[in-house]
Amino acid sequence: MKKILLLLFLVEYFCMNLAAQSGCQNIDFETGDLSEWSTQGNVKIVNRGQTDPYGHFPLASSGFFSVKLGNTETPVPSVIKRSITIDNSTKYFIYSYAVVLLGIDHTEPEAASVELKITNSAGDIVPCTYFVAFARPLVNDGFLQSDIYYMDLPVFYKSWTTNAIDLSPYIGQTLNFEIVNKWCVYDIHFGYSYMDAYCSSQFINTYTSCEDQQHYIRSIEGFEEYIWNGPGIVSGAGTHLVGVNQPGLYTVDIPNPDPTCDSVHLEISVTMNELPDIPHVDFTWSTFCLGDTATLYGQTASFSPIEEQTWIVNGTDTLEGVMEQFTLNGIDQYTITCQVTNASGCSAELTKTLTVRELPVVYLGDDRKMCPGESVKLQDLSGSSVSLTWSTGDKGPFLEVNEPGNYFVHAYDGYCVNTDSVVVGMGGVNLGPVPNIITPNNDLVNDELIIESTNLIDYHFFVTNRWGNLLFDTDNPTVFWDGKSNGNLVDDGVYYYVLKYVCEGTKFKKSGFIQVQK
């Protein structure tokens, strides 16, 4: 939630600045270029993502861009300037500067320098708007010595310093802003600087923190001193941000670094509105088995309506909504965060760990082939103790099948279900039924005991009478019994047969009775 609050703070701060700059467009260089400004010498736009090599400070004090004047290579004066007509929307000029100077002991007129001034249409300097810094060998006036030397010479820098100027006495007038950066007069020792600025009708406002349920008044960061007054300051006196607990008139004075100049005086009237509520967030999920689709359900509570809900799964932003779905594949645990923001701008988030259950182990083995007259026993070969439900609807540890087909089983361990399947096919042979009656009367109907078969190995078929006397014997599956023994028809009655063969390496024996009726 801290990140969200900070983001809201920056967005509000940035928007406040933009809204205030209608009268001095691109005074802050936030268009990323030098439009509205005139320049001379070495002047370029730099951004917050860069740092100064000597002072190690970011190259923008607010926003994303600032301007750099001068460098360490070319000893020409660098100048940037523009004119602004002052009105109520531009009466405060806020600028920040940073300076890097090679500290060689010249006299001030000879030394590298940076100079900022605001002049009126007559060319006169507006009081309390002039600033100049000269390169000196000693650290002074807020300068620090860099940890990096330039050709064995010390470098001094002053990081971002912010100042505010009240230009309300000049409303209706056009003022000229100018910054000049120079090397030493011998064109040997460098000096360069950075500048960022904006103008505003006001740079104080109020807001309410959702995180600690506190009312605040804030001004622009970066000034060296803040002097607050008001009826209910409870925290932060002396900083840019104060907490307050009573309505009333609050003021802040921001002194000018020049003690002979007046402070900038700001006032704001505070009304204590009801503090917004912080939403409550929770969520549940419907499944947690490997390979399943997990469905997350957000459960939120807030007096102010929830306007945004975002899911973050393993660090990746996903669907914005009250529900999220994703597939549980190959990961033992998922870190899930649900973030919500209500209409009051207050946010909350909750992170939970979803542990994915392994699927129960079930294994029916390789596909197999069955032989005529054979039944096959299917069972879980994994050795795990789970509940099994077969594709036939049967339940239990095994299934006896006597027909080829595709069989599967569901294994359930009390939480998750896994499935395995096996194909039972015929073993490349065929054996039809053995008839139980023949009528050898030469009417060409059922005169022989015909057994349809294909690819039977070690085929052996014989018939005996009730006393076990052999009547017919053959190893040829294409030779059939015609009801005769030694060339003579046997008497009507019941006879016994035996059929032997080999299928898929297994010996089979089939026997039964045959009725002969002429």
What is the CATH number for 376?
A: 2.60.40.10
The answer to the question of residue 243 being in a domain is yes
**Domain end among 165, 200, 235:** 200
Nearest of 282, 293, 393, 364 to residue 334 by alpha carbon:
293
Q: What is the pLDDT along the chain (518 residues), one digit of tens a residue?
A: 222 222 222 223 333 333 333 357 888 898 899 999 999 999 999 998 899 999 999 998 878 899 999 999 999 999 999 998 998 888 888 888 899 988 777 888 888 888 989 999 999 999 988 888 887 665 567 789 999 999 888 899 999 988 888 888 999 999 999 999 999 898 888 989 999 987 777 788 998 888 888 999 999 888 889 999 999 999 999 999 999 999 999 999 998 877 888 888 989 999 988 888 889 999 988 878 988 888 888 888 888 888 888 899 888 766 666 778 888 888 888 999 999 999 888 989 999 999 998 889 999 999 888 777 778 899 999 888 789 999 999 998 899 998 888 999 999 988 889 999 999 887 766 777 889 999 998 888 898 989 887 777 888 999 999 999 999 999 998 999 999 999 899 999 999 999 988 877 778 888 999 999 98
Torsion of CA 228, 232, 236, 238, to 10 degrees: 20
Kindly state whether residues 251 and 338 are assigned to the same domain.
Answer: no
Nearest of 177, 161, 128, 178 to residue 62 by alpha carbon:
161
User: Cβ distance 274 to 247 under 8 Å?
Assistant: no
**Tokens standing for residue 130:** 């002039």
Backbone angles phi, psi at 142, to 5 degrees: 85, 0
The amino acid that residue 53 corresponds to is P
The amino acid that residue 68 corresponds to is K
**Residue 306: exposed, middle, or buried by beta-carbon count in 10 A (0-12, 13-18, 19+)?**
middle
Kindly state whether residues 185 and 214 are assigned to the same domain.
Answer: no
What is the CATH number for 186?
A: 2.60.120.260
Kindly state whether residues 13 and 161 are assigned to the same domain.
Answer: yes
The answer to the question of residue 275 being in a domain is no
The amino acid that residue 243 corresponds to is G
Q: How many domains does the chain have?
A: 5
The answer to the question of residue 411 being in a domain is yes
Kindly state whether residues 399 and 329 are assigned to the same domain.
Answer: no
The rounded distance, in Å, linking the Cα atoms of 301 and 278 is 9
What is the CATH number for 484?
A: 2.60.40
The answer to the question of residue 343 being in a domain is yes
Kindly state whether residues 96 and 27 are assigned to the same domain.
Answer: yes
Q: Which residues partner with 192 through β-bridges?
A: 100
- DSSP code for 143: -
CA distances from 198 to 17, 29, 201, 220, 382 (A): 7, 9, 11, 11, 74
The rounded distance, in Å, linking the Cα atoms of 11 and 215 is 18
Kindly state whether residues 39 and 177 are assigned to the same domain.
Answer: yes
What is the secondary structure of 8-65 as a DSSP string?
A: HHHHHHHHHHHHTTTTSTTTT-TTSS-TT-EEESSEEEEETT-B-TTT--BS-SSSSE
The rounded distance, in Å, linking the Cα atoms of 319 and 312 is 8
Residue given tokens 């929830």 in the structure block: 306
Burial 85-110 (b: 16+ CB within 10 A, else e): ebbebbbbbbbbbbbbbbbbebeeee
The rounded distance, in Å, linking the Cα atoms of 207 and 10 is 12
The answer to the question of residue 360 being in a domain is no
Residue given tokens 């103790």 in the structure block: 385
Provide the pLDDT for residue 471: 93
Domain of residue 258 covers 204-270
**Domain end among 250, 270, 290:** 270
**What value, to the nearest 5°, has the Cα angle with vertex 295 and ends 293 and 298?**
165
Kindly state whether residues 414 and 507 are assigned to the same domain.
Answer: no
The model carries a pTM of: 0.54
The amino acid that residue 199 corresponds to is C
**Tokens standing for residue 323:** 């529900």
Kindly state whether residues 132 and 249 are assigned to the same domain.
Answer: no
Kindly state whether residues 416 and 441 are assigned to the same domain.
Answer: no
Backbone angles phi, psi at 383, to 5 degrees: 85, 0
The CA-to-CA distance between both ends of the chain, in Å, stands at: 99
- DSSP code for 263: P
The answer to the question of residue 297 being in a domain is yes
The answer to the question of residue 90 being in a domain is yes
Nearest of 88, 50, 55 to residue 67 by alpha carbon:
50
The amino acid that residue 168 corresponds to is S
The rounded distance, in Å, linking the Cα atoms of 221 and 21 is 18
The rounded distance, in Å, linking the Cα atoms of 478 and 491 is 24
Kindly state whether residues 72 and 117 are assigned to the same domain.
Answer: yes
**Domain end among 405, 426, 447:** 426
Kindly state whether residues 132 and 64 are assigned to the same domain.
Answer: yes
The answer to the question of residue 495 being in a domain is yes
**Tokens standing for residue 115:** 């100079």
The rounded distance, in Å, linking the Cα atoms of 444 and 425 is 36
Kindly state whether residues 126 and 12 are assigned to the same domain.
Answer: yes
